[in-house]
Structure 1
Amino acid sequence: MWISSITVFALIAILIVGCTGNKSKDSSAKEGGTLIVGTFSDIVSVNPIFINDTASGDIEQLVFAKLYDLDRESNLAVESWSIAAELPKVSADNLTYSIKLKKTAKWSDGNPITADDVKFTFDTIRNEDTGAPGISQYDKIESITVKDDYSLDIKLKQIYAPFQFALYSSIIPAHVLKDIPVTSLQESKFGVDPAGTVTSGPWSFSEWKQGQYITLNRNTNYWGKEKPHIDTIIYKIYADQNTEVQALIKGDIQMSEAIPLTQIAAIKGKNNLEVILEPGPQYEYIQFNFKDENFPDNYSPFKGQKTRQAIASAVNRQGMVDNVLKGSGGLMNSPFLPGSWADPGKEAVNYAYDAEKAKALLAEDGWVPGKDGILVKDGHRFSFELQYNAGNSRREQVSAIIQENLKDVGIEVTPKGIDFATWIDQNITPGKFPAILLAWSLNNPDPDGESIFSSKYFPPTGQNGGWYVNESVDELWVKGQQVVDQKERTKIYHQIGKELSIDLPYVFLYQYGLPQAYDSTKLKWNEVDRPESSMGYGYLFHAIKWWLE
């Protein structure tokens, strides 16, 4: 599933200050203590099947065990904390996946995790009435057969090449949720009320004070062979990134999950603080909404392809990379990260900053200057609200650049910062916005993006929140999923990337990494368990093995 970040790319890894202070042997790991992590985004829910944002996903992965996990190279893996006992066995026709579970895995209430839980989870996600954003990974399932308490077979309707990574999924408890109608699951206490949330990971969802903090305590019923060293993890929520950084410098927190690039120098000057800046699986974009009702005048100005191409030409993307990212990112021209096998490279259109070209394209698409200088078409002024999450200093800067760039070509933009959790819940997930500045975190190693670009997956059953329609691209996603040969699949994804770079449901801006900072005198890990920023949720990679001095 693709998660709003709200993603694996080919930048040269930059390690600032490094991790040299954390090469202690595991035998020296200390038990206990409280790790306080700073964040500027509150969660929406930790119910795995409804997560559509990274803030919620960070917490969810600490409190729920996954069926399978990923290793550092993003291969499907069985870890001591995975529910599965071995890698899935796949039939010769690539349609049936046979799965065996560990007999030791159990829920935080002491009940065993069984094949019924796995079946219940996947059946719930693939039910259209549930409204799960990740449905596209599971609606290719034809049937799930429970063979016994700890083994099951999953049969697909058709070959679905990305399916192995759909198994990189948290499981929910059937015995807790089976009697709740699927249409009521999202409004249930599960995932939002710690008392009503049975989990399975190393830590339990213990307390959530909205807008202030989230507390995770050690799961006393944890079943994995490797137990967490840290007793408690507290996520402290700050109003913005700069306040969060100051808390780190003062020692109020031991780790910051995302710091502004402008603050690296200040942190680097402190002897006890280290910063990790590596390639991350994130890319930022401007998303257009094509649904008229999401605009005050019931008119979406983004329906003309030339209009979208004009906006891409009018926005100084390279300037953002140079001045906002300080050169630590790279341009995006399609939804596939440069250097990945799906990347179309030079086949994709690279929109250079060219205001005059933008003006010409807008004129060709029927836009003419109004009395106040703002473009008008069919009686509608070209004015729209650009939403982003409040407190994100990078997006504050980028939205201001977009506002200035588009003003130069006659388009009025009003940037608006909104509380992250509220924004995800009320605007992003239901697709109720004019335009947004956001990012995808590509937590699934497979580049399949059907869920966010196909007209089959409008909200609430999918992630195409801009209501984008392109039938030829819809067909290409399906074609690419049904091809096992990697060379043939690569050709299809190159075609998808090229087509999306022309049609532009988004203006693809840039890829970037999220710098993490931590107190190296207090937070420790072995080098093999260091954060892995090239992966989705990678800054918490192997957190079960970390300890505090």
Structure 2
Amino acid sequence: MVAVGCSSGGGSGAIGNGESATAKKGPVKPGGTVTIAEVGSQPDFIFPFAPATNQNGYNANLTQPLWPYLVYAGDGAQSVVNKEKSLFSSLVYSNGDKRITITLKSWNWSDGQPVTSRDFTFVYNLLKANASNWNAHLVGLFPEDVTSVSTPDAHTVVLDLTQAYNPDFYTDDVLSTIPLVPQHAWDKTSATGAVGDYDTTAAGAKAVYAYLQQEGAKTTDFTTDPLWQVVDGPWKLSEFRSNGYYSYVANKGYSGSPKATLDKVVFSPFTTDTPEINALRSGSSLDVASLPLNDIKQAQALTSSGYSITSVPIPGVAEIQPNLYNSEVGALLRQLYIRQAMEYLIDRTQIVDKVYNGYADPGNGPVPVKAAGAWASPLEKSGGPYPYDPAKAKSLLQAHGWKVTPGGTTTCASPGTGPAQCGEGISAGQALTFNLVYSSGRATTDVQNAAIKSSEAQAGITVNLKSEPFNTLISTIGTCTASSHPASSCGWQLAEFGYEPYSLYPNGTGYFDTGGNGNSGGYSDPEMDQLIKATEYGSSTTVFSQYEDYAAQQLPWLWLPLREGILVYRTKLQGVVPLNPFSAGQDFEDWAYTS
């Protein structure tokens, strides 16, 4: 992700507020190329419905400009549906919110064929037969919750659902995960086979899906495979290299608005922050980049070199995910009091101030305060249920039968399941020692985790750190549950992915519900499931706050501050800010150079 959102932040006078940068800077100069720095992971899959085992969020960044979602989330800095860029012209809920009538816009695919309701049924049929192998699948929701799909005409789709949903939730969090794809070009089971209506049977849908997923993993064919040349978004992929370099050119057949002014957008990969900031300082061809927060003092020099800078909060939550079913430490992490003690020992306020120079969400719970402030409860806004308090952490452990050794190794002195004992599955002498694996590439993440390691040691909790590239991290960490324990893919103990992105309605679906596709650590709690369902079915802000506060207190994850991005962009590049916080800043059709 380049950066997301827009607001002013903490420390440098050179960093402005993206809201004020929307004014026109001068006449637009058609054409030109923008080069964007991308630090960390690179995309590795192009079919928009990646396998459940592929959790690389950068793939969505790659595909959204090619195949936009039915409901396009985010309009500039506003947390709303972008009706101009969405594929629907109207969404009407009826029959007590159990029926949705979708009217599609009169758009064309890049090969001139119309986008129709048949493209929607193609997506529905593929997902109905393959939902368990779709990485964005929300268990129990689309397509399982659809009782029937009808298409009265070429631009109308009627969905009948099993029950009534909160329209805000269903539109913002479900329909916003569904792109339309070209049935007339993709409904085939082999490269040499003819296009047909294979998706209309379960067996055919499985065969088509398997073929498209197979082709979607062939990175060397991203720009040559005829499948991926048929798009309905504003851009077409023109280059893709093994090192993560890729580029787009404008789709001349794009039906939507606005149409691209730029000729080309290039993503240039950097493995870490250091070469990126060196490239910016050298006056290279980089036009858009993220300024590492540990290099915030460079802001003034960059503004003097023709760049503008703005802080950008990210709509998501940073976390350490505990593996509740790890064979060595799962029994420890299943104890809420141990997770509470660990959270009390994370000095989030100090991390925000010292590591991120004030440019970070405080990380007080499951809803970001800065990027989703309208949803944040009073509890989260006031600091959350677990402010930094080493004394409380030590007392909690001592009250549950632990011999606390600050700066040493805390061990279980009273095994058993009584109220003053360590808990089920914990043996006498067992130590509070954990391995934390996290995504490499950012110096601030290294500093943050070193600080956490140091502060946890105040109560004798040992945290061993290991960093590895994001793609390596997600490929080795599987979803762990009671039934999968002790599978080899569940050998991890604590994992920090960076952050988990949220859609417009941040209710935890897929993350904290039992079996959720983002619930890697196997957290399961009937009350949590019930509260999440309540937010899906009803629109009461009271119910949402009940869910939010319960999740904050129950710690399915350990909450961490979430850094803001510091977006650096050429001053003559218009339309970059306010950046859309929910499209990963992929709205390049809004950008243009000024003369």
TM-score normalised by length of structure 1: 0.85
Cα 1:298/1:318, change in 2 over 3 Å: closer
- Of 576, 581, 589 in structure 2, the residue corresponding to residue 535 of structure 1 is 581
Cα displacement (A) at 1:390: 1.1
Q: Establish whether residue 343 from structure 1 lines up as the match of residue 376 from structure 2.
A: yes
CA distance in 1, matches of 2:566, 2:57: 15
**C-alpha offsets along residues 370-421 of structure 1, whole Å, 9 cap, x if unaligned?**
9993234415433222122111222111111111111222222122222122
In structure 1, the gaps of 5 or more residues are none
Go from structure 1 to structure 2 and tell me whether the alpha carbon gap of 1:226 and 1:289 turns closer, same or farther (over 3 Å shift).
same
Whether 1:213 aligns to 2:245 is yes
Map 1:194-343 onto structure 2 (within 5 A).
194=222, 195-196=224-225, 197-198=228-229, 199-224=231-256, 226-270=258-302, 271=304, 272-293=306-327, 297=328, 299-338=330-369, 340-343=373-376
> Are the counterparts in 1 of residues 234 and 589 from structure 2 also a CA contact under 8 Å?
no
Q: Match for residue 374 of structure 1? A: 409
SS of the residue corresponding to residue 100 of structure 1 reads: strand
Tell me: CA distance 1:380–1:13, structure 2 relative to 1, closer, same or farther (3 Å).
Answer: closer
Cα distance change of structure 1 residues 376 and 133 upon mapping to structure 2, 3 Å threshold: farther
- Mark the CA change 1:400 to 1:540 in structure 2 (over 3 Å): closer, same or farther: same
More displaced 10-residue stretch of structure 1: 435-444 or 142-151: 435-444
1:404-449, Cα deviation, whole Å (9 max, x unpaired): 1112222221222221223234326788432122344544211221
CA drift at 1:9: 10
Shift of 1:369: 6.0
CA distance in 1, matches of 2:432, 2:2: 28
AA partner of residue 333 (structure 1): N
Q: 1:422 aligns with which of 453, 467, 472?
A: 472
Structure 2: distance between partners of 1:454 and 1:325: 31
**Cα distance, 1:225 vs. partner?**
5.1
Computing the radius of gyration over CA atoms, which structure comes out larger, 1 or 2?
A: 2
Residues 405 and 459 in structure 2, CA contact (< 8 A), matched pair in contact too: no
1:505 paired with 2:540, answer no
Distance, in Å, in 2 between the alignment partners of 1:423 and 1:177 is 32
Aligned-partner residue type, residue 33 of structure 1: G
Correspondence 1:99-138 to 2 at 5 A: 99-106=102-109, 108-125=110-127, 127-136=130-139, 137-138=141-142
Aligned residues: percent identity?
21
- Indicate the residue corresponding to 2:200 in structure 1: none
2:513 matched to which residue of 1? 454
1:490 aligned to 2:541?
Answer: yes
Rounded to whole Å, the distance in 2 between the matches of 1:436 and 1:287 is: 5
302-311 vs 199-208, which deviates more?
Answer: 199-208
What value does the CA root-mean-square deviation take over the aligned residues? 3.3
Query: Distance in 1 between the 2:55 and 2:443 partners?
Result: 21
Q: 1:531 to 1:45 in 2, by over 3 A?
A: farther
Q: Give yes or no for contact 1:278–1:515 (8 Å, CA) kept in 2.
A: yes
In the other structure, the counterpart of 2:156 is 151
Contact 1:214 1:234 in 2 (8 A): yes
Alpha-carbon distance in 2 for matches of 1:228, 1:511 = 32
Query: Residues 7 and 312 of structure 2 are in contact (CA less than 8 Å); yes or no, is this contact kept in structure 1?
Result: no
Which residue of structure 1 lines up, in the alignment, with residue 171 of structure 2? 164
Structure 2 Cα separation of the partners of residues 301 and 332 of structure 1: 23
**1:46 offset after TM fit, Å?**
3.6
The aligned length equals: 526
Aligned equivalents of 1:268, 1:409: Cα separation in 2: 41
Name the counterpart of 2:484. Answer: none
Amino acid at match of 2:387: A
Which residue number in structure 2 is paired with residue 391 of structure 1? 441
Question: Who is 2:37 aligned against?
Answer: 38
How far 1:233 moved relative to its partner?
1.4
Q: Distance in 1 between matches of 2:7 and 2:568?
A: 22
Q: Which moved more, 1:6-15 or 1:320-329?
A: 6-15
Which residue is equivalent to 1:358?
Answer: 393
**1:7: how far off?**
8.3
Which stretch of structure 1 is more off in the superposition, 413-422 or 347-356? 347-356
- Post-superposition CA distance 1:180-215 (Å, at most 9, x none): 527736842226441332432222123322334112
Counterparts of 1:92 and 1:13 in 2: how far apart (Å)?
49
Quick check: 1:44–1:425 contact (8 Å CA) kept in 2?
A: no
TM-aligned CA deviation for residue 478 of structure 1: 1.0
CA contact (8 A) 1:283 1:332 kept: yes
Q: Aligned partners of 1:337, 1:298: CA distance in 2, in Å?
A: 29
Q: Would you say the 8 A contact 2:470–2:497 is kept in 1?
A: no
Which residue type is aligned with residue 463 of structure 1?
A: G
For the residues of structure 2 that align with 1:520 and 1:351, how far apart are their CA atoms? Answer: 42
Gaps of 5+ in 2: 190-205, 413-426, 481-488
Aligned to 1:167, the other structure's residue is in SS state helix
Inter-CA distance 77–314: structure 2 relative to 1 (3 Å threshold):
closer
Counterpart amino acid of residue 43 in structure 1: P
SS at match of 2:558: strand
C-alpha deviation, 1:326, in angstroms: 1.2
Which residue in 1 is equivalent to 2:196? none
Give the corresponding residue for 2:497.
438
Residues 1:471 and 1:10: Cα distance change in structure 2 (over 3 Å)? farther
1:479 correspondence with 2:561: no
Aligned to 2:422: none
Q: Which residue of 2 aligns with 1:94?
A: 97
2:86 is paired with a residue whose SS is coil
SS in structure 2 of the partner of residue 142 of structure 1: strand
Q: Distance in 2 between matches of 1:40 and 1:87?
A: 38
Question: Take 1:410 and 1:29, find their aligned partners in 2: how far apart are those partners?
Answer: 60
**Contact kept in structure 1, 2:330 and 2:493, CA below 8 Å:** no
Q: 1:160 to 1:49 in 2, by over 3 A?
A: farther
**What code does the residue aligned with 1:203 have?**
W
Q: CA deviation at 1:249?
A: 2.4
3-state SS of paired residue (2:279): helix
1:50-84, CA deviations, whole angstroms, 9 ceiling, x for partnerless residues? Answer: 374543333222222332324333322331x4332
Going from structure 1 to structure 2, the CA distance change for 1:175 and 1:423 (only over 3 Å counts) comes to farther
Higher deviation after alignment, 335-344 or 197-206: 335-344
Structure 1 residues 370, 513: CA separation in 2 closer, same or farther (over 3 Å shift)?
A: closer
SS class of match (1:334): coil
Is contact 1:74–1:445 with CA below 8 Å preserved after alignment? yes
Structure 2 distance, partners of 1:179, 1:397, is 50
| AA aligned opposite 1:200 | D
210-219 or 428-437: bigger deviation: 428-437
Shift of 1:256: 3.9
- Partner SS state of residue 451, structure 1: coil
Normalization by structure 2: what TM-score? Answer: 0.79
